[in-house]
């Protein structure tokens, strides 16, 4: 199956939200609607697709700021990491800097913690537990792609200085992805541009210690 992946970079923190569906499909999944709900809802109308689910890699405000308005407008259920439902339910209490928001809180419809297989919109998503950037962080694997939130970036990795962050834990999460998926696997991250596991394995300085072993 060929995926149709559309990336929308939204909000002051320039977070990547993704609209994913099988090519030509009438149903879609949205990953990490971080801000600018109108900009994310518009393509659904334009493409004539129905949103079947909203998947969250983690609940930092820049990834979930538009969850409530998108969920309410579409009726799509929200799948949230189990360890972080309390953050989604009280977003503004966890916005660490002033000047962002206000964002609307949301009570998750479904929880995920890694190990699940989700059949959504004609696609199969494997949920992988990838903590280290945040305590409940998950990565979604579908076809030849990883939607990895703030685990791995082009030439960089997710920060580990926020509450619940931890570099050895994040390193283990990245190692597990490198062990499981091949070099050709496409990586759609929460910030900056898409990359591949092979490219990061070969050039990402943060992974040098991991790939040497
Ligand atoms: Fe984050």
- In the reported structure, the alpha carbon of residue 55 is separated from the centroid of ligand 1 by a whole-number distance in angstroms of 14
- In the reported structure, the alpha carbon of residue 119 is separated from the centroid of ligand 1 by a whole-number distance in angstroms of 25
Pairing of strands 3-10, 195-196: unpaired
Among residues of the chain, what percentage have pLDDT more than 70?
Answer: 99
- In the reported structure, the alpha carbon of residue 61 is separated from the centroid of ligand 1 by a whole-number distance in angstroms of 8
- Is residue 54 within 8 Å of 32, Cβ to Cβ? no
Residue 212: its pLDDT value, please?
57
Give the tens place of pLDDT for each residue, 28-46: 999 999 999 999 999 999 9
Query: Taking all residues of the chain, what is their mean pLDDT, rounded to a whole number?
Result: 96
Using pLDDT thresholds of 50, 70 and 90, give the confidence band for residue 3: very high
Residue 99: its pLDDT value, please?
85
- Cα 212 from Cα 192, distance rounded (Å): 25
Residue 98: its pLDDT value, please?
79
- Is residue 53 within 8 Å of 120, Cβ to Cβ? yes
Once rounded to an integer, what is the mean pLDDT over residues 138-164?
Answer: 96
Residue 141: its pLDDT value, please?
98
- In the reported structure, the alpha carbon of residue 73 is separated from the centroid of ligand 1 by a whole-number distance in angstroms of 25
Report whether pLDDT(213) > 80.
no
Once rounded to an integer, what is the mean pLDDT over residues 185-209?
Answer: 96
Residue 208: its pLDDT value, please?
87
Closest CA to 64 of 94, 20, 43, 28: 94
Tokens of 201: 């394995």
Residue 186: its pLDDT value, please?
98
- In the reported structure, the alpha carbon of residue 22 is separated from the centroid of ligand 1 by a whole-number distance in angstroms of 27
Answer with the residue of higher pLDDT: 96 or 72.
72
Using pLDDT thresholds of 50, 70 and 90, give the confidence band for residue 211: low
Tokens of 126: 């494997």
Using pLDDT thresholds of 50, 70 and 90, give the confidence band for residue 96: confident
Residue 11: its pLDDT value, please?
97
Q: Hunting for tokens 């709900």 — which residue is that?
A: 37
Report whether pLDDT(150) > 70.
yes
- In the reported structure, the alpha carbon of residue 59 is separated from the centroid of ligand 1 by a whole-number distance in angstroms of 7
């Amino acid at each position: 199956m060929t995926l149709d992946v559309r990336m929308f970079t939204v909000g002051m923190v320039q977070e990547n939200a993704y609209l994913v569906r099988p090519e030509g499909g009438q149903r879609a999944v949205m990953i990490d609607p971080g801000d600018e709900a109108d900009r994310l809802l518009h393509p659904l109308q334009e493409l004539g697709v129905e949103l079947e689910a909203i998947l969250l890699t983690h609940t930092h405000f820049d990834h979930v700021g538009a969850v409530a308005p998108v969920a309410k407008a579409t009726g799509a259920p929200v799948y949230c990491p189990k360890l972080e439902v309390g953050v989604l339910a009280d977003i503004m209490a966890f916005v660490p800097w002033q000047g962002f928001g206000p964002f609307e809180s949301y009570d998750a419809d479904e929880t995920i913690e890694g190990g699940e297989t989700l059949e959504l919109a004609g696609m199969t998503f494997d949920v992988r537990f990838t903590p280290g950037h945040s305590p409940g962080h998950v990565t979604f694997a579908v076809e030849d792609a990883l939607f990895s939130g703030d685990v791995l970036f082009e030439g960089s990795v997710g920060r580990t200085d926020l509450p619940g962050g931890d570099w050895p834990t994040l390193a283990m999460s990245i190692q597990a992805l490198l062990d499981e998926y091949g070099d050709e696997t496409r990586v759609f991250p929460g910030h900056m541009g898409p990359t591949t596991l092979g490219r990061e394995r070969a050039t990402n300085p943060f992974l040098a210690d991991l790939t040497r072993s």
